[in-house]
Protein backbone atom coordinates (compact mmCIF):
# COMPACT_ATOMS: atom_id res chain seq x y z
CA UNK A 1 0.00 0.00 0.00
CA UNK A 2 2.86 2.40 0.78
CA UNK A 3 4.30 1.95 -2.72
CA UNK A 4 0.91 2.80 -4.25
CA UNK A 5 0.38 5.90 -2.12
CA UNK A 6 3.87 7.22 -2.81
CA UNK A 7 3.65 6.84 -6.61
CA UNK A 8 3.71 10.09 -8.56
CA UNK A 9 0.32 9.70 -10.30
CA UNK A 10 -1.44 9.04 -6.98
CA UNK A 11 0.31 11.98 -5.31
CA UNK A 12 -0.65 14.29 -8.18
CA UNK A 13 -4.27 13.11 -7.94
CA UNK A 14 -4.35 13.63 -4.17
CA UNK A 15 -2.75 17.06 -4.51
CA UNK A 16 -5.03 18.39 -7.25
CA UNK A 17 -8.31 16.78 -6.17
CA UNK A 18 -7.98 17.82 -2.54
CA UNK A 19 -6.86 21.32 -3.53
CA UNK A 20 -9.98 21.77 -5.69
CA UNK A 21 -12.25 20.45 -2.94
CA UNK A 22 -10.54 22.67 -0.34
CA UNK A 23 -11.13 25.75 -2.49
CA UNK A 24 -14.74 24.86 -3.37
CA UNK A 25 -15.94 23.54 0.02
CA UNK A 26 -16.67 26.90 1.72
CA UNK A 27 -18.84 27.93 -1.24
CA UNK A 28 -20.73 24.62 -1.48
CA UNK A 29 -21.20 23.77 2.21
CA UNK A 30 -22.33 26.47 4.63
CA UNK A 31 -20.96 27.24 8.03
CA UNK A 32 -18.31 25.53 10.06
CA UNK A 33 -18.68 22.23 8.20
CA UNK A 34 -17.51 23.85 4.97
CA UNK A 35 -14.64 25.55 6.74
CA UNK A 36 -13.48 22.35 8.45
CA UNK A 37 -13.78 20.41 5.18
CA UNK A 38 -11.61 23.02 3.49
CA UNK A 39 -9.01 22.84 6.26
CA UNK A 40 -8.91 19.01 6.23
CA UNK A 41 -8.65 18.74 2.48
CA UNK A 42 -6.07 21.50 2.41
CA UNK A 43 -3.89 19.60 4.88
CA UNK A 44 -4.07 16.45 2.74
CA UNK A 45 -3.28 18.46 -0.39
CA UNK A 46 -0.35 20.13 1.34
CA UNK A 47 1.02 16.76 2.45
CA UNK A 48 0.78 15.33 -1.06
CA UNK A 49 2.41 18.45 -2.52
CA UNK A 50 5.27 18.26 -0.04
CA UNK A 51 5.76 14.58 -0.89
CA UNK A 52 5.95 15.51 -4.56
CA UNK A 53 8.58 18.15 -3.84
CA UNK A 54 10.54 15.83 -1.54
CA UNK A 55 10.74 13.15 -4.22
CA UNK A 56 11.81 15.60 -6.96
CA UNK A 57 15.56 15.39 -6.34
CA UNK A 58 15.62 11.60 -6.15
CA UNK A 59 16.39 9.54 -9.29
CA UNK A 60 13.53 7.32 -10.46
CA UNK A 61 13.42 3.80 -9.10
CA UNK A 62 15.25 4.71 -5.89
CA UNK A 63 13.38 4.13 -2.64
CA UNK A 64 13.01 6.77 0.02
Stated pTM of the model: 0.79
Tens-place pLDDT, residues 43-62:
999 999 999 999 876 666 56
pLDDT at 34 (0 to 100): 95
CA dihedral 53, 4, 14, 61 (to 10 degrees): 20
Dist CA 55 CA 30 (whole Å): 37
Helix (H, G, I), strand (E, B) or coil at 47: helix
Q: Provide CB contacts within 8 A for 57, sequence distance 6+.
A: none
Amino acid sequence: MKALLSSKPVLWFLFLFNLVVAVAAPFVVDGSQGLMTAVGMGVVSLGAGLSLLKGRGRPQGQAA
